[in-house]
A and B are shown apart, each in its own frame.
Chain A
Amino acid sequence: MREEYIKKVTKELSVSRKQKREIIRDLNEAFDSAKEHGETEKQVIDRLGTPKDFAESMEETIGFNRAQYRKRRKKLLAIYCSCGIAVFCMICAFIAKHSELPDNTIGQADSMTQITVNGFWSFDIWSVLLIIGLIFAIVAVAFIIGLTRKKK
């Protein structure tokens, strides 16, 4: 009962790792002390309220805004994702560019041939990847600027 309660509180708390450790330590102490004074685990839990209520009251009074934190976390995730996609696209573009055959290479002919090779698309795939990569890089930079500006 106690373990389950503490586990749920741990899950609910959106605070720094250090604060979380502190709160869980204190919560354990609360259970220990209550037991020492003859209180049952159920009595303690009844007093503490639901794990969500307890977690929220801890966050509120710590001067922490849950909604703001969630929003910030979403923005950070967007930055990581766009950075990831940008890097991925650029690596792909690099590989695509370097695995292309040089112009006029057909077999091992000694002289120029009349055969031209066209890809499936009439444009180079690497340049498309590069453009996508750049777009995502710009998006990531825009997000970062937005996030740091708001901080001030």
Chain B
Amino acid sequence: MADSKYIQQFKKGSFEMILLCLIAKKETYGYEIITELNETGGKIFGYAKEGTIYPMLYRLQDAGLVQCRIASSQANGGQKKYYSITAKGRETLCELISFWRSYTVCVDSFIDIVKNLEA
């Protein structure tokens, strides 16, 4: 059920906002984003992987909503790309959140109509 076409579309529409939330919370990197996504929401929206998250990060970056810096990592000797939110990103996130709030209220009111009929 979790993979039905309609649910896929829900996910598609909200994933970028969720990423913005995670990056707005603190500066973070790819693997950490995926781990947090899976720990908090894995059961609901399926387990995220690099193949889906990276392109979204590229898009957010191209849109100027997030920025990144590359720093060498002490833990593994390699490099890590740290993402942080930009002013524009924060503004967009606020807009998205307020839209999401009114959106869910609106959708809920439709659901309630059906629920009341059933009751």
Binding site for B on A (CB under 8 A): 22-23, 25-30, 32-37, 47-49, 53-54, 57-58, 60-63
B73 CB–A CB distance under 8 Å: yes
Contact A58 B30 (CB under 8 A): no
Tell me the complex Cα distance, A22–B70, Å. 11
Taking a contact as CB atoms closer than 8 A, the residue among A25, A36, A58 that contacts B76 in the complex is A36
Contact A47 B58 (CB under 8 A): no
Taking a contact as CB atoms closer than 8 A, the residue among B35, B56, B73 that contacts A32 in the complex is B73
Q: Is the interface of A mostly helix, strand, loop or mixed?
A: helix
Taking a contact as CB atoms closer than 8 A, the residue among A22, A37, A53, A63 that contacts B51 in the complex is A53
Binding site for A on B (CB under 8 A): 29-32, 35, 49-52, 54-56, 58-59, 73, 75-81
User: Which residue from chain B places its CB closest to the CB of A31 in the assembled complex?
Assistant: B78
Q: How many A-B residue pairs have CB under 8 A?
A: 66
- A26-B51 CB under 8 A given contacts A33-B31, A36-B76, A37-B35: no
Contact A61 B59 (CB under 8 A): yes
Tell me the complex Cα distance, A49–B49, Å. 10
Tell me the complex Cα distance, A110–B31, Å. 92
Contacts of B79 in A (CB 8 A): 25, 29, 32
Among A29, A36, A37, the one with the most B-chain Cβ atoms within 10 Å of its Cβ is: A29
- A29-B80 CB under 8 A given contacts A53-B51, A61-B52: yes
User: Which residue from chain A places its CB closest to the CB of B31 in the assembled complex?
Assistant: A33
Contact A23 B54 (CB under 8 A): yes
